[in-house]
Amino acid sequence: MNDTFSLRNKTAIVTGGNRGLGRSIALALAKAGAELVVVGRDQNRNEEVVQEIKNLGRNAMGFSVDLSRINSIQQFVQNVQESFGTIDILVNNAGVSATNFALDITEEEWDKVMNVNVKSLFFCSQAVAKAMKQQGGGKIINVSSVVGAVGDVGISPYTASKAAVINLTKSLALEWARFGIRVNAIGPAYIETEMNKEELRNEKVRNKIISKTPMKRLGLPEEITGAILLLASDAGSFITGQTIFIDGGWLAQ
């Protein structure tokens, strides 16, 4: 691997890192040389990914953290600092959705999506950025979505939350550039993972997505990792405040 993409001697946190896109991201960072902190509610799943990373010869730990509680986030970040010394990379991947028409969305559904996708992402970023400021810099990568740039039917809280992530990425990049902290995002289109495979078995749903995608297929988890490595490494040292869309041409239309 080109040294500018190397993550040797770096520590990375991946929230929602024990399945789906998060697992693929964590493994890609480990393969590039990083030590990993895998965050997810299910500690058994965390440990499965931790073992995969250790099998690659990298150090890793799993943390079960309630990301809805700011105190829990702050304590977790302190624990990571004590265990690893530095936090060089944060990938805010944890996210949820609510599938319902806008006329039927409940306050509970709205709050759940916003609390995880926006509020928790912000306060994870804030806590880690304080550590990064002390150590002279770092990289924060947020996971938005193609539907943060365009609308979609039946997932209005999710589209609103992912649009918020895109603009929050810009604001944090502007504020924290002087501390050597780069803040960027990726915006995948529909990626086939274990989390959505049941939904995508519905031929009508699958065909609708493919019809909107110029490349006429769904994305694969490993196809988002190139952008992650660019943004996490020195190869992307002059990139901040950006969202890289990985969408098979969706937004080119």
The answer to whether the predicted template modeling score (pTM) of the entire model surpasses 0.85 is yes
Length of the chain: 253
Annotation says 190 is catalytic: no
Q: Where along the chain do its domains lie?
A: 3-246
Domain at 3-246: CATH architecture:
3-Layer(aba) Sandwich (3.40)
Give pLDDT tens digits along the chain (253 positions).
Answer: 568 999 999 999 999 999 999 999 999 999 999 999 999 999 999 999 999 999 999 999 999 999 999 999 999 999 999 999 999 999 999 999 999 999 999 999 999 999 999 999 999 999 999 999 999 999 999 999 999 999 999 999 999 999 999 999 999 999 999 999 999 999 999 998 876 778 888 899 899 999 999 999 999 999 999 999 999 999 999 999 999 999 999 999 9
Of 63, 76, 84, 158, the active-site residue reads 158
φ, ψ for residue 89, nearest 5 deg: -140, 135
Q: Which long-range contacts (CB under 8 A, 24 or more apart) does 97-101 make?
A: 97/155, 97/157, 97/158, 98/155, 98/157, 98/158, 99/154, 99/155, 100/154, 101/153, 101/154
